Structure 1
Amino acid sequence: MANLQEQIQAITQACQDKKASDIDVLPVGKMTSLTEYFVLASGNSTAQVDAIADAVIEKMEDLGIEPSHRQGQREARWIVLDFGDVIVHIFHREERDYYGLERLWKKDREEDHEED
Protein backbone atom coordinates (compact mmCIF):
# COMPACT_ATOMS: atom_id res chain seq x y z
CA MET A 1 0.00 0.00 0.00
CA ALA A 2 1.16 3.52 -0.77
CA ASN A 3 2.39 5.68 2.10
CA LEU A 4 0.70 8.95 2.98
CA GLN A 5 3.01 11.13 0.92
CA GLU A 6 2.46 8.94 -2.16
CA GLN A 7 -1.29 9.16 -1.62
CA ILE A 8 -1.19 12.95 -1.31
CA GLN A 9 1.01 13.20 -4.38
CA ALA A 10 -1.41 11.02 -6.40
CA ILE A 11 -4.39 13.07 -5.23
CA THR A 12 -2.80 16.42 -6.00
CA GLN A 13 -1.61 15.16 -9.39
CA ALA A 14 -5.13 14.00 -10.27
CA CYS A 15 -6.45 17.44 -9.29
CA GLN A 16 -3.80 19.18 -11.39
CA ASP A 17 -4.53 16.90 -14.35
CA LYS A 18 -8.15 18.10 -14.33
CA LYS A 19 -7.11 21.76 -13.94
CA ALA A 20 -8.34 22.13 -10.36
CA SER A 21 -7.46 25.44 -8.74
CA ASP A 22 -6.39 26.37 -5.22
CA ILE A 23 -5.14 22.89 -4.30
CA ASP A 24 -4.25 22.90 -0.62
CA VAL A 25 -3.00 20.13 1.67
CA LEU A 26 -3.84 20.70 5.33
CA PRO A 27 -2.23 18.57 8.04
CA VAL A 28 -5.05 18.14 10.55
CA GLY A 29 -3.95 15.01 12.40
CA LYS A 30 -2.99 16.91 15.56
CA MET A 31 -6.41 18.58 15.67
CA THR A 32 -8.70 15.63 14.97
CA SER A 33 -8.70 11.85 15.19
CA LEU A 34 -10.80 11.77 12.01
CA THR A 35 -7.89 11.89 9.55
CA GLU A 36 -4.30 13.00 9.05
CA TYR A 37 -4.77 15.31 6.05
CA PHE A 38 -7.41 17.24 4.20
CA VAL A 39 -6.78 17.92 0.53
CA LEU A 40 -8.91 20.76 -0.84
CA ALA A 41 -9.37 21.68 -4.48
CA SER A 42 -11.75 23.82 -6.51
CA GLY A 43 -13.48 23.54 -9.85
CA ASN A 44 -15.26 26.19 -11.88
CA SER A 45 -18.30 24.08 -12.80
CA THR A 46 -20.17 21.05 -11.52
CA ALA A 47 -18.83 19.08 -14.50
CA GLN A 48 -15.25 19.97 -13.56
CA VAL A 49 -15.83 19.16 -9.87
CA ASP A 50 -17.20 15.76 -10.86
CA ALA A 51 -14.29 15.13 -13.26
CA ILE A 52 -11.75 16.00 -10.56
CA ALA A 53 -13.42 13.56 -8.15
CA ASP A 54 -13.42 10.80 -10.77
CA ALA A 55 -9.72 11.41 -11.49
CA VAL A 56 -8.82 11.28 -7.79
CA ILE A 57 -10.74 8.02 -7.34
CA GLU A 58 -9.02 6.51 -10.38
CA LYS A 59 -5.51 7.53 -9.22
CA MET A 60 -6.15 6.15 -5.75
CA GLU A 61 -7.56 2.89 -7.16
CA ASP A 62 -4.29 2.59 -9.14
CA LEU A 63 -2.60 2.57 -5.72
CA GLY A 64 -5.02 -0.08 -4.47
CA ILE A 65 -7.03 2.33 -2.34
CA GLU A 66 -10.76 2.92 -2.66
CA PRO A 67 -12.74 5.56 -0.80
CA SER A 68 -14.52 4.21 2.26
CA HIS A 69 -17.10 6.93 1.81
CA ARG A 70 -18.02 9.44 -0.86
CA GLN A 71 -20.63 12.13 -0.69
CA GLY A 72 -21.93 14.90 -2.92
CA GLN A 73 -21.31 13.45 -6.38
CA ARG A 74 -24.94 13.77 -7.41
CA GLU A 75 -24.94 17.56 -6.94
CA ALA A 76 -21.20 18.00 -7.66
CA ARG A 77 -21.00 21.23 -5.67
CA TRP A 78 -18.92 19.84 -2.78
CA ILE A 79 -17.68 16.28 -3.11
CA VAL A 80 -16.03 14.55 -0.17
CA LEU A 81 -13.90 11.44 -0.69
CA ASP A 82 -12.74 9.60 2.45
CA PHE A 83 -9.58 7.57 1.99
CA GLY A 84 -8.98 7.09 5.72
CA ASP A 85 -5.81 9.05 6.44
CA VAL A 86 -6.65 11.53 3.69
CA ILE A 87 -10.02 13.17 3.14
CA VAL A 88 -10.45 15.02 -0.14
CA HIS A 89 -12.81 17.98 -0.45
CA ILE A 90 -13.54 19.07 -4.02
CA PHE A 91 -15.57 22.24 -4.18
CA HIS A 92 -17.34 24.33 -6.71
CA ARG A 93 -15.57 27.68 -6.18
CA GLU A 94 -18.68 29.34 -4.69
CA GLU A 95 -19.10 26.64 -2.03
CA ARG A 96 -15.44 26.79 -1.10
CA ASP A 97 -15.60 30.54 -0.60
CA TYR A 98 -18.82 30.23 1.41
CA TYR A 99 -17.76 27.43 3.79
CA GLY A 100 -14.13 28.53 4.21
CA LEU A 101 -12.68 25.29 5.57
CA GLU A 102 -9.17 26.72 5.34
CA ARG A 103 -10.15 29.59 7.63
CA LEU A 104 -11.68 27.18 10.14
CA TRP A 105 -8.70 24.84 10.24
CA LYS A 106 -6.16 27.67 10.12
CA LYS A 107 -7.86 29.21 13.14
CA ASP A 108 -7.67 25.86 14.97
CA ARG A 109 -3.96 25.52 14.09
CA GLU A 110 -3.25 29.02 15.43
CA GLU A 111 -5.08 28.22 18.67
CA ASP A 112 -3.08 24.98 19.05
CA HIS A 113 0.18 26.93 18.70
CA GLU A 114 -0.95 29.48 21.31
CA GLU A 115 -1.42 26.65 23.82
CA ASP A 116 2.13 25.28 23.24
Structure 2
Amino acid sequence: MTATEEAIRTVTVAAQAAADKFGTSVVAFDVSEQLTITDIFLIATGKNERQVSAIVDGVEEALHKVGRKAARREGDRENRWVLLDYVDFVVHVQHTEERSLYNLERLWKDCPQIPLDIVQHEPEADDDAS
Protein backbone atom coordinates (compact mmCIF):
# COMPACT_ATOMS: atom_id res chain seq x y z
CA MET A 1 0.00 0.00 0.00
CA THR A 2 1.19 3.50 -0.75
CA ALA A 3 0.16 6.95 0.40
CA THR A 4 -3.02 8.25 -1.22
CA GLU A 5 -2.95 11.08 -3.76
CA GLU A 6 -5.12 13.14 -1.40
CA ALA A 7 -2.62 12.69 1.45
CA ILE A 8 0.25 13.67 -0.85
CA ARG A 9 -1.61 16.79 -2.04
CA THR A 10 -2.40 17.80 1.53
CA VAL A 11 1.17 17.15 2.71
CA THR A 12 2.40 19.39 -0.10
CA VAL A 13 0.18 22.20 1.25
CA ALA A 14 1.69 21.64 4.71
CA ALA A 15 5.22 21.52 3.29
CA GLN A 16 4.75 24.82 1.46
CA ALA A 17 3.34 26.41 4.62
CA ALA A 18 6.45 25.25 6.52
CA ALA A 19 8.71 26.65 3.80
CA ASP A 20 6.77 29.94 3.84
CA LYS A 21 7.73 30.30 7.53
CA PHE A 22 11.38 29.66 6.59
CA GLY A 23 11.34 26.03 7.67
CA THR A 24 14.36 24.23 6.27
CA SER A 25 15.17 20.69 5.16
CA VAL A 26 11.51 19.99 4.43
CA VAL A 27 11.11 16.33 3.43
CA ALA A 28 8.31 13.78 3.28
CA PHE A 29 8.48 9.99 3.50
CA ASP A 30 5.87 7.44 2.48
CA VAL A 31 5.80 5.25 5.60
CA SER A 32 2.60 3.39 4.66
CA GLU A 33 4.44 0.11 4.05
CA GLN A 34 6.12 0.26 7.48
CA LEU A 35 3.32 1.68 9.65
CA THR A 36 -0.38 0.98 9.83
CA ILE A 37 -1.22 4.16 11.74
CA THR A 38 -0.28 6.75 9.06
CA ASP A 39 0.86 7.06 5.45
CA ILE A 40 3.30 9.98 5.43
CA PHE A 41 5.80 11.67 7.72
CA LEU A 42 6.55 15.31 6.87
CA ILE A 43 9.62 16.74 8.59
CA ALA A 44 10.70 20.39 8.78
CA THR A 45 13.28 22.28 10.82
CA GLY A 46 13.18 25.60 12.68
CA LYS A 47 16.32 27.30 13.94
CA ASN A 48 14.82 28.26 17.31
CA GLU A 49 11.75 27.65 19.46
CA ARG A 50 9.96 30.73 18.18
CA GLN A 51 10.44 29.69 14.58
CA VAL A 52 9.28 26.13 15.34
CA SER A 53 6.10 27.64 16.80
CA ALA A 54 5.62 29.89 13.74
CA ILE A 55 6.06 26.94 11.37
CA VAL A 56 3.51 24.89 13.33
CA ASP A 57 1.03 27.77 13.31
CA GLY A 58 1.56 28.28 9.57
CA VAL A 59 1.00 24.60 8.82
CA GLU A 60 -2.16 24.46 10.94
CA GLU A 61 -3.53 27.62 9.32
CA ALA A 62 -2.84 26.40 5.77
CA LEU A 63 -4.39 23.00 6.45
CA HIS A 64 -7.39 24.58 8.16
CA LYS A 65 -8.03 26.51 4.91
CA VAL A 66 -8.28 23.18 3.03
CA GLY A 67 -10.59 21.70 5.67
CA ARG A 68 -8.10 19.74 7.75
CA LYS A 69 -7.71 19.88 11.52
CA ALA A 70 -5.08 18.02 13.51
CA ALA A 71 -6.41 15.10 15.53
CA ARG A 72 -3.56 15.58 17.99
CA ARG A 73 -0.83 18.13 18.74
CA GLU A 74 2.13 17.36 20.99
CA GLY A 75 5.27 19.17 22.10
CA ASP A 76 4.09 22.73 21.70
CA ARG A 77 4.91 23.60 25.30
CA GLU A 78 8.67 23.49 24.67
CA ASN A 79 8.58 24.03 20.87
CA ARG A 80 11.63 21.82 20.35
CA TRP A 81 9.78 19.04 18.51
CA VAL A 82 6.12 19.56 17.71
CA LEU A 83 4.07 16.74 16.24
CA LEU A 84 0.82 17.39 14.38
CA ASP A 85 -1.18 14.21 13.73
CA TYR A 86 -3.60 14.43 10.81
CA VAL A 87 -4.21 10.65 10.88
CA ASP A 88 -3.18 9.93 7.27
CA PHE A 89 -0.01 11.98 7.73
CA VAL A 90 2.05 13.32 10.62
CA VAL A 91 3.96 16.60 10.60
CA HIS A 92 7.16 16.78 12.65
CA VAL A 93 8.57 20.28 13.18
CA GLN A 94 11.89 20.04 14.95
CA HIS A 95 14.41 22.48 16.37
CA THR A 96 17.77 22.17 14.59
CA GLU A 97 19.31 20.34 17.55
CA GLU A 98 16.48 17.78 17.78
CA ARG A 99 16.59 17.23 14.04
CA SER A 100 20.29 16.43 14.25
CA LEU A 101 19.98 14.30 17.39
CA TYR A 102 17.00 12.14 16.39
CA ASN A 103 17.82 12.04 12.66
CA LEU A 104 14.42 10.79 11.47
CA GLU A 105 15.75 10.53 7.91
CA ARG A 106 18.08 7.79 9.06
CA LEU A 107 15.24 5.92 10.75
CA TRP A 108 13.03 6.08 7.66
CA LYS A 109 15.74 5.86 4.96
CA ASP A 110 14.23 2.64 3.57
CA CYS A 111 10.92 4.40 2.90
CA PRO A 112 10.40 6.22 -0.39
CA GLN A 113 10.84 9.96 -0.24
CA ILE A 114 7.88 11.88 -1.64
CA PRO A 115 8.86 14.62 -4.08
CA LEU A 116 7.57 17.96 -2.84
CA ASP A 117 6.99 20.68 -5.41
CA ILE A 118 7.50 23.61 -3.04
CA VAL A 119 9.32 26.92 -3.10
CA GLN A 120 11.98 27.17 -0.39
CA HIS A 121 12.47 30.73 0.83
CA GLU A 122 15.79 32.13 1.92
CA PRO A 123 15.63 34.28 5.06
CA GLU A 124 16.74 37.87 4.63
CA ALA A 125 19.95 39.00 6.34
CA ASP A 126 17.92 40.80 9.02
CA ASP A 127 16.08 37.55 9.83
CA ASP A 128 19.34 35.80 10.70
CA ALA A 129 20.28 38.46 13.22
CA SER A 130 17.10 38.06 15.27
**Is the pair's TM-score, using the shorter chain for normalization, greater than 0.5?**
yes
Decide which structure has greater helix share: 1
Scaled by the length of structure 2, what TM-score is found? 0.79
1:34 and 2:40 aligned: no
**Matched-pair identity in %:** 37
Structure 2 partner of 1:81 = 84
Deviating 4+ runs (over 2 angstroms): none
- Unmatched segments (≥5 aa) in structure 1: 111-116
Describe the SS at the equivalent of 1:3.
helix
- Unmatched segments (≥5 aa) in structure 2: 113-130
In structure 2, C-alpha distance between the alignment counterparts of 1:9 and 1:95, rounded to whole Å: 23
Scaled by the length of structure 1, what TM-score is found? 0.88
Q: Displacement, 1:36?
A: 0.4
Structure 2 partner of 1:98 = 101
- Letter of the aligned partner of 2:80 in structure 1? R
In structure 2, C-alpha distance between the alignment counterparts of 1:74 and 1:60, rounded to whole Å: 21
Q: Displacement, 1:63?
A: 0.9
Give CA deviations for 1:31-69 in whole Å, capped at 9, x if unaligned: 000110000000001000000000000011111110000
Structure 2 partner of 1:49 = 52
In structure 1, C-alpha distance between the alignment counterparts of 2:78 and 2:8, rounded to whole Å: 30
Q: Displacement, 1:109?
A: 3.9
Aligned residues: 108
Q: CA RMSD in A?
A: 1.5
**Correspondent of 1:58 among 61, 64, 67:** 61
In structure 2, C-alpha distance between the alignment counterparts of 1:109 and 1:91, rounded to whole Å: 20
Q: Displacement, 1:3?
A: 1.8
Q: Displacement, 1:5?
A: 2.4
Choose between structure 1 and 2 for higher RCO, CA contacts under 8 A separated by at least 6 residues: 2
